[in-house]
Amino acid sequence: MIEVKALQKRFKLTKAHQQKGKSTDVRERDGYFHSVQDVSFTCNRGEVLGLLGPNGAGKTTTLRMLSTALKPDNGEIHINGQDVVAKPLIGRKAIGFLSGSTGLYGRLSAKENVEYFAKLHGLKGRALKARCDELFEVLDMGSFLDKRAEHLSTGMKQKANIARAVVHQPDVVVLDEPTTGLDIMTTQTVINFIRDLKNQGTPVIFSTHHLDEVALLCDRICVIDRGVSCFDDSVENFKVKGQSQELNQAFMNLLQGDTYV
């Protein structure tokens, strides 16, 4: 499981930005932009957590802290009881992370890319082949395994990126908008893969703007708004708090009201 408690992260504003005058964003103060002010949530074994929030809410900064690319100014991140803020190397081994900036080496084939990252995680020999073959089948990658990454379609690249992110069988998987820009068939493959992770007991944190995907996949929802986690509970309680059985409307109601919990 993963437990996130009271994360905070701020960034120093440039002098040029400060000289523009008073900002309407309440997170700009004292010469800093407080991107994440107080974010907490939990995702247990076999759960999918939908991470929601408007653009600029602090989701990406939160996810970068989970990946250990950014160190929190304050707060805690524990994976199976291990403090990954204090021990980032453990965090990198424990987390499979896919973001919009996750990339492939263009001159390598899809297969070579996945195998390369498997080797970086210490896989070799029969174990490496077995794990890669499993992912290639589950993600339906057989038709383009030998194509160079620079010639792959968006959907093909995303499948290869997912494979490289989870090839080391991480304890937690973090997916940042994994279906953006994908066609219907590739989106369904990704959705089925997330379901497989859930069935295997792997906690999945799934950032998305598509609430229909949340309805299909998620057990819990965390909403971040203005750098604060304003909701962290079950999907059913999200509907109750948002006063609607429709997730889109519940989301809007929760952000517009004073129902932060």
Question: 45-89 pLDDT, tens per residue?
Answer: 999 999 999 998 999 999 999 999 999 999 999 999 999 999 999
In the predicted model, is pLDDT for residue 101 greater than 80? no
Q: What CATH number does residue 130 fall under?
A: 3.40.50.300
Amino acid identity, position 219:
D
Distances in Å between the Cα of 155 and the Cα atoms of 103, 125, 128, 140, 192 are 13, 29, 24, 11, 15
261 pLDDT band (50/70/90 cuts)?
A: very low
User: Interhelix angle for 154-166 vs 184-199, to 10°?
Assistant: 10
Cα atoms found within 13 Å of the Cα of residue 175, Cβ hemisphere only: 31
SS3 126: helix
In a domain, 208, yes or no: yes
Closest CA to 116 of 161, 155, 150: 161
In the predicted model, is pLDDT for residue 1 greater than 70? yes
In a domain, 195, yes or no: yes
Please give the Cα distance from 106 to 113 (Å, whole number). Answer: 9
In a domain, 230, yes or no: yes
Tens of pLDDT, residues 220-237: 999 999 999 999 999 999
* Domain span including residue 238: 2-256
Retrieve residue 134's tokens: 């499993």
In a domain, 261, yes or no: no
In a domain, 71, yes or no: yes
In the predicted model, is pLDDT for residue 258 greater than 60? no
What local confidence, expressed as pLDDT, does residue 21 receive?
A: 65
Domain count, the chain: 1
- Where would I find the beta strands (DSSP E) of 70-203? 74-79, 82-83, 95-98, 172-176
| Torsion region of 260: left, alpha or beta (phi above 0 gives left; psi -120 to 50 gives alpha) | beta
